[in-house]
Amino acid sequence: MTPLLKLLFKALYKGPVTEAAPDRALILELAGQIDAKAKIKLGRSLVVRAVDAGSCNGCELEIHALCNPVYDVERFGIRFAASPRHADVLLVTGTASRNMAEALRRTYDATPGPKWVVAMGDCAIDGGCFKGGYASLDGIDKVVPVDIRVPGCPPTPTELLKALLALLESVS
Amino acid sequence: MTETNYLLRLLKDFPLVEEHRPWARRIVDFDAWMNIIEVLAVSDWDFLGLWAERQTQDNDRFQIHMSLRDAENTTVVVITLPLDGLSYPAVSGVRPGAARLERVVADLYGLVALGAEDMRPWLDHGRWLVNHPMAEAEAREVVPFGYDFLTADSEQALHQIPVGPVHAGIIEPGHFRFHANGETVVRLEERLGYVHKGVQALMEGKTVQEAAKLAGRLSGDSTVAHALAFVQAAEAAVGIEAPPRAVWLRAIMAEIERVANHLGDFGAVCNDAAFALMLSHAMTLKEKLQRMSHHVFGHRLMMDRIIPGGVAVDINKEAARHIMAAAREVRKGFQRLSDLYDDTPSLLDRTVGSGITMASLAHRFGTGGVVARAAGRAIDARKNPGYAPYGELDFDVPIEIDGDVHCRLMIRAAEIKESLALIERFTDGLPTGPLTRALPRHAGEGMALVEGFRGEIMTWLRLDADGLVARCFPRDPSWFQWPLLEACIEGNIVADFPLCNKSFNCSYSGVDL
């Protein structure tokens, strides 16, 4: 049997690795809310554009983790887009470095409304450990309006998932 | 008489700085600096880094440091040139890896590298409120600089493709400017600096404990390796060693970090060749390691677990079993993936022969890590100069010679297996004893070379009389890998750029600082 067949058979036999989100009841309830509210506003899906505005790339690792089969964020109707033109949400990491401020602003302007901004991680919220330098604006709210803040250094994928689901809940 | 010896002999006549550890630092004059540049043109010495700082005796003046390693990888030396004015002779003419570092020195300190070919600003995009933030900062009006990208001339019509700073994927920001002839790349030029956070300036005046946290956030994926390089430099500066148990726990964390990142890269490179299945499986294995790290060390990336003088967490028997089980599981799972890779011709068709880097170029740029080892350049800081606990162990450093995307994947695959074995050996033979040793607070200069998953990290540190950070220069391996990416993409098709780029996986934050 070829290695590819072996892997596929194993997947069939063992089932998916995707796990239920931490609190199953909460997630089912939240998932229900996605259905009800997002149907109206978002057509049951939330398209996210990630922007690094001066992070250490730790947050990016956890966003990648959120897309892995264990968390499988797409099952909630949340997916990542390559262009801000296709996005409902900007997921912004980093301190808002002065060198990235304009690019962040332009990305925001390129995103069609209605749109929401998530500040992911301590530095996106207020500069975190990079606060007070000549090169940083200490928080992305100096550049774009922020709707939801996810603290952590970096926030875990579960925390990020909760925040995105909560955002869906508040979209009404 | 080799040139190597000549350089050492030349340096021997210049004063040795007593408090610099573990390697020598010598203060040279202008003529000797010129001589060294001349010798470097024909010698094998590796260029490790170049940085500036204020003179300790006279705060209004500056000095330039350059670190080098001799061809046999046995001697590391720091050479210091005290400056009277605001310029120094450029090193980039003989060691092109120095070019961007010279531009950084110009941006942050206003010191000019005389004779340098490229004097365009690098980190400074004209968006800070001050000039030369690490020297005599002057307030200025914010007018973003334009940037003169290099051009390409051809009888055929070329077109330009600007990419970034905001990229299509979930990655860090940077700008790539392609000149292409149809699908073929004629020239790629990188413009980085977008995530510059001023970390070097932020570190100054901090305690080593606070600065270690910043070191752990120079590049989040290398948080363990950067923190390790920083604390080793700090411990060298004050002349202590961390207790054996801490040293081994640090090594366990460093190897877990290496395996986790290599798994992610292995999957992501295949994904960029449109083989998404590999990414899913590799990321599932990586997730296992991150969860184990969270369970055992209390953080998914193991941030802030390595502290000056030791480590912040201990592991018990149950945790050790957890580490062993994860290592076994990942080994078994990864074997399936590496079999799958070998058995998928459509994937190999994309990776074999794409993005070739030459060993000669890797040497000229002082490149280390996966990129260099895939091109036949056998350097690994764990072996040479070596540091505890690796010195006591026998392990393989895999080498490939073709330098293409495929070889870089093969290096990662071999290192995953080797590092899993190291994790098991370290966990199994973990010495008992204390976790930390108190750091005396006094002046000193320390330096460390640590092998992160990308390659060799060099960190240089000066502590003042109160034991606070006076100057820290952390040099990420990406400094000498980014320029090779520009070279290796030439002649490849634009569509293979993501593949080549991912097979390098250079850090933006690590070089933007």
Residue-wise pLDDT tens digits, A87-145: 999 999 999 999 999 999 999 999 998 899 999 999 999 999 999 999 999 999 999 99
User: What is the per-residue pLDDT across A72-102, written as a single tens digit (0 to 9) for each?
Assistant: 998 888 999 999 999 999 999 999 999 999 9
Task: Tell whether B200 lies on the interface with A, counting CB pairs under 8 A.
Answer: no
Alpha helices in B192-316 (DSSP H): 199-203, 208-215, 223-238, 244-272, 276-297
Indicate the residue of B202, B219, B340 with minimum beta-carbon distance to A130. Answer: B202
Strands A148-150 and B87-89: unpaired
Query: Which residues, other chains included, contact B429 with Cβ-Cβ below 8 Å and sequence gap of 6+?
Result: B248
Asked if residues B198 and B513 have their Cβ atoms less than 8 Å apart, the reply is yes
CB-based contact B373:B448 (threshold 8 Å): no
Element (H, E) at A98: helix A98-110
Asked if B220 and A61 come within 8 Å (Cβ–Cβ), the reply is yes
Cβ separation A135–B198 shorter than 8 A: yes
Predicted pLDDT at B108: 95
In whole angstroms, what separates CA B235 from the centre of its chain? 20
Binning pLDDT at 50, 70 and 90, where does residue B58 land?
A: confident
The mean pLDDT of B1-7, rounded to a whole number, is 62
ipTM: 0.92
Helix (H) or strand (E) holding B339: helix B317-342
Ranges of each domain in chain B: 3-114, 199-512
Q: Average per-residue pLDDT in chain B?
A: 93
Judged by DSSP in three states, A32 sits in helix
**B1 — pLDDT class (breaks 50, 70, 90):** very low
What pTM did the predictor assign?
0.93
Whole-angstrom distance, CA of residue B401 vs CA of residue B387: 26
For residue A52, which residues of chain B lie inside 8 Å, CB to CB?
A: 171-173, 195, 508
Predicted pLDDT at A165: 83
User: What's the CATH architecture for B3-114?
Assistant: 2-Layer Sandwich (3.30)
Encode pLDDT of B258-292 as tens digits: 999 999 999 999 999 999 999 999 999 999 999 99
For chains A and B, CB pairs below 8 A equal 159
Residue B219 or residue B383, greater confidence: B219
- The dihedral region occupied by B481, where left means phi > 0, alpha psi between -120 and 50, and beta the remainder, is alpha
- Asked if B342 reaches chain A (Cβ–Cβ under 8 Å), the answer is yes
| Structure confidence by residue, pLDDT tens digits, B388-415 | 899 878 888 999 999 999 999 999 999 9
Residue B316 sits at φ, ψ, to 5 deg, of: -105, -175
In tens, the pLDDT along B93-120 reads: 999 999 999 999 999 999 999 999 999 9
Burial A32-69 (b: 16+ CB within 10 A, else e): ebbeebbeeebeeebbbbbbbbbbbbbbbbbbbbbbbb
Report pLDDT for A33.
47
Q: What mean pLDDT is predicted for residues B195-207?
A: 96
**Token pair 């296992």 is at which residue?**
B288
Give pLDDT tens digits for A11-55. Answer: 888 888 887 765 655 555 545 544 455 455 555 678 999 999 999
| CATH fold match for the domains B3-114 and B199-512 | no
Mutate to test the interface with A, among B132, B166, B221, B223 (most CBs of A within 10 A): B166
Cβ proximity of B262 and B496 under 8 Å: no
For residues B114-131, average pLDDT: 93
- Beta carbons of B165 and A63 less than 8 Å apart: no
The predicted pLDDT at position B218 comes to 96
Mean pLDDT over the full length of chain A:
86
Residues within 8 A of A (CB atoms), B 201-230 only: 201-202, 213-214, 217-221, 223
Check A97 against B197: CB less than 8 A apart: yes
| CATH code matching the domain that covers B199-512, chosen among 3.30.365.10, 1.10.645.10, 1.10.260.40, 1.10.3720.10 | 1.10.645.10
From chain B, the residues in CB contact with A97 under 8 A are 194-197, 512
pLDDT per residue over B223-254, tens digit each?
A: 999 999 999 999 999 999 999 999 999 999 99
